[in-house]
Structure 1
């Protein structure tokens, strides 16, 4: 079994390294077997504290506060992303910041560490090994290939005897020089990959040590480097020279002698391996010159807010009441669901399994409708909580890996963020940029692009805000730069198979289509009246919820 993939390793004593461990010295941070405990305690230079190994995890090793030596950091500042003590959170530099239990953050970060380790071991490291093996194979073939070239030169030299001996020698010298350059290039490529493999081995070792350790400081300060290694090193492609046979002419022997093509060394930039959630690129579909309205659905609401595709001919709709309706293209009501709380839902989305999800801002819940039964999967804290911000869920979308992305606003409506949930567990929170500034003025509709970017319609800032899957800002789109007369007012947002970003510009009665890098491509009008919500079906038709008319319009644009 591969040593890095052994899931059931026997943990051995750190001293004798032969007998399974049973105890742990918290002072010296060493693992001990029964035989070595006495030997370890005989060292009277320290006051040892030996406990059963299984009790290690039950006693958290909180870091000490750098500002207050007598305090342990049992809280985590969400804004600064560091462990803090209660005094710093209440009265110090972190006063007013959102804080959470450090062990909760430790649990999330430990999960991320485990994911990083798994990706390195199962995906990234094997690819590096494969590349190194390919180069070794190519190097082994060099002797054969260049030997054949040399033999060809010798055969031609023998046919021309003494007249071309000098030329043959020059050709052999050229071949040897090319061979040396070829080997030198591949050796350089090998050294680069070997260096990366060495770094990966060290990262794997460090990650295992962190996961094995109980040190909160190590886990809290860990910074993932997986994205750095997903882009593989450049791979050298060398074209083996070949002879181009020429008819021998003794009068112009040198010019007519078989020429040797130059050594061609081309570097292919290393592929960037997609993470587990990434999907294959679809076939290219160009934009239609004349988008076409193909259906109009009367929803029966007074005002219409959201639409979410169950299929290409069935959509869930949401108006200004507590009832959510499933309608077909002929406006026929197929199913209706009323919220559990009796409140009007804020937004709806359809999971990859075809179930309905809706947010209840008043009740502060996120709910799943499965087989017409409502299950509350996420309940946010209610009421005033000391030193913690209280949040309300707003808009929701389902990701490629069946996570939920939820936009949230604080109870005082002053802060906004995006939260990722896997099941009912929060796995990511996106609120600030690299400079600690808020990413969002407000949070509206949300969608995940095929390249895993997270796209939010920030209506208050009159912008579409796009961050990558790690939460790092990619760009803000504030409307077509040539349009200075009409204010951009984005509401609904969605994406298609081409990684286009579509957003509804309500008062201007049009849809903006952007590419995945935020470049404006075109407007779509199609006689829209105050378009609000958006969704895209599996065939890249988009559905628009019109607020005033309460109609859903289906439009073909690709």
Structure 2
């Protein structure tokens, strides 16, 4: 495979393109076909001439991606002038054609080593594709899942610690309250006991006073003047009043331990439940097209004059690139029928570029990362001004005209129908969102806002496209889903990715009804069937993309991918 880099000689800053070059001498066109007999790429014109040439008309010509890889050159050890190209089935060794005539291989059966190599190469390529399209993305998804679990566990444990501290503080407050009540009870007990002792003390004070009085009377009786009284009266002394000793309260220390306190507080318990295994996406969906490709490699040559229905390739191939001047990133891409690009970045710059990457026009818009512009069937461009709540049209003569006013609704995303030319607009107002259909002249003819249960269907319809069956496919970042309704507005299905995370961005459809959507969570482009079934990951970081955002497919089944951190638009072939 040869690759050439071409640039416009008149402008050193013009964008550079990369593509496969035809193997015919002095031909610099795109070599999208391949001759398996000559082992060289061919452009469409050279392929037609190859078929017409009597010397090569029976050669096997296929699409480049279905080519038979040429057998590596290996010299025979016994016959150094010959290449090893035969496999002896009896001896299980690779030999040259001259070796096959030797007596050691008499009457042995031989196979074409190149055919064996092609088959083995296809099988190895299949395994390699599995690594790129299944094992690596799936493992990276599991790793991201683990990282999400790490964050989740950290937050959970911090929440548990906060709860434990709050519970301990609550217990401390209860202890303080009980202790305070008990101390107050001791003050009451003390007051009662002291009052009783004071009363008994008063009793003895009164008795002492009584004894003093009685002593005085005795003195009087004993005097000479009162001797007669002594014989007539006998003084009696009252008994000492009885009192009781107070019963002193006894403090009984609480009988508790650290374990008792732990029983009062909550505990963290590790569950004995069986851990659930992480969900691993089965490989069946990924390998289906790999197997079909291996089968195709062994089929007869394709007739050059028969136009076949496109089919999926085993992998996406980078066929060219554009470096677009005037933008610092590529968040959305539109392609018109002439192949010219409209590219926008997150700053609102909207640039049109030709096939060489030269800037044709540039305007400033209010759009940012949304899919807010789209080429129409008439080769015009329509784009939104969400601040003015209006949709504008740019004609071929670069004239900008008012097209649709959206009232109170802020337009985000646009799609021009390839079926009937209708305009589909994703828009928001306050916390509501909807998709509105306008006809070619800008008349409102349909509003889609709620699902089959009457609930709000959309939240952030920032990219929108239409499938070949009339389905309206919307990429809703806040809902983390691709939402699909039929042409009547009835909700058909929602696609939410293959793992724990899915943040859809750019979305488009192709001639086979596939839905292609970029997932910013895993930096991959997912390929879905018409009913939302996951088929495969057709682009991942292994293909050299890092942060794709805008995706679209042109009339030649080329996939255009714009990236967030570069002004480069990369074109891939994924259909053949």
Q: Which category describes the TM-score, using the shorter chain as reference length?
A: 0.3 to 0.5
TM-score, normalised by the number of residues in structure 1? 0.45
Larger Rg: 2
TM-score (norm 2): 0.44
Greater relative CO, 1 or 2 (CA 8 Å, sep 6+): 2
